[in-house]
Amino acid sequence: MLQFFAKFKKFAIVLFVLSVFIIWAIYSLLKPEERLPVFQPDMVNAELVDTTVQYVRKYHTIADFQLINQNGDTITQDFYKDKIYVADFFFTTCLSICPIMTDHMLKIQEKIKDDPEVFLLSHTVFPKTDSVPVLKEYAEEKGVIDKKWNLVTGDKKKIYELARKSYLASKSDGDGGPYDMIHTENFVLVDKDRQIRGFYDGTNPEAIEELMADIKILKAEYQR
């Protein structure tokens, strides 16, 4: 009897290994791949979306733009070509949610500073005072890494159009006068195809952790 089992020992081992491999393969095929949603305007709170795009259900992307960063350089969509980036809206003299958002952006910057695929983009909603020198001083004070993070200013109307028609992240169209500074705390995750893949509360540490996890998921999409 023992001789019989000894004779088939190697066969049993091979059969066991093969069974494990087959089970793993079946599990891998049946397990759905993690994939982030692609957000369309009709999926977002209507209060944050311009009426001209409110009912768009597919093919929404971030529009072309031309703004000036903290170094006086012209920044367009080409800077972020084939890149993943996190965008938000702020102003340098904000004393409420903006300091918290900036601190969280700095934490994201620390985690992605050596990642060639991921960048940051912050738009001022108060370009009347947030000039290039003001943004530069703010960037230096906060520790912004220029090659990773653009703080941009420009024409107010264009910025608010981006906020409401592209990033779906502003409660105002910017027509309330020079001190109309309504914006949200949202961080917006944008993929390499200029599509919105997530919204996160920029004042919530847990949401920032979720954002970092989603960046990993998004990066994996481009490695398949």
165 with 65: CB under 8 angstroms? no
Residue 222 token pair: 């481009």
Q: pLDDT tens digits for 73-103?
A: 999 999 999 999 999 999 999 988 999 999 9
159 with 123: CB under 8 angstroms? yes
Residue 34 is predicted with a pLDDT of 86
Order of all β-strands in the sheet with 149-152: 149-152, 118-124, 84-90, 186-190, 196-201
The rounded distance, in Å, linking the Cα atoms of 167 and 43 is 12
Residue range 41-221 in CATH 3.40.30.10: yes
One DSSP character per residue, 95-149 reads: -SSHHHHHHHHHHHHHHHTT-TTEEEEEEES-TTT--HHHHHHHHHHHT--TTTE
- Taking only the tens of pLDDT, the chain with its 224 residues reads 545 445 555 554 555 545 545 554 454 444 457 899 999 999 999 999 999 999 999 999 999 999 999 999 999 999 999 999 999 999 999 988 999 999 999 999 999 999 999 999 999 999 999 999 999 999 999 999 999 999 999 999 999 999 999 999 987 666 655 555 567 899 999 999 999 999 999 999 999 999 999 999 999 999 87
Residue 4 is predicted with a pLDDT of 47
Residue 24 is predicted with a pLDDT of 44
The rounded distance, in Å, linking the Cα atoms of 13 and 27 is 21
Residue 141 token pair: 């004070």
Residue 28 is predicted with a pLDDT of 41
Q: Minimal CA–CA distance to 196: which of 178, 213, 206, 211?
A: 211
Mean pLDDT, all residues of the chain = 87
Residue 192 is predicted with a pLDDT of 98
Read off the pTM: 0.84
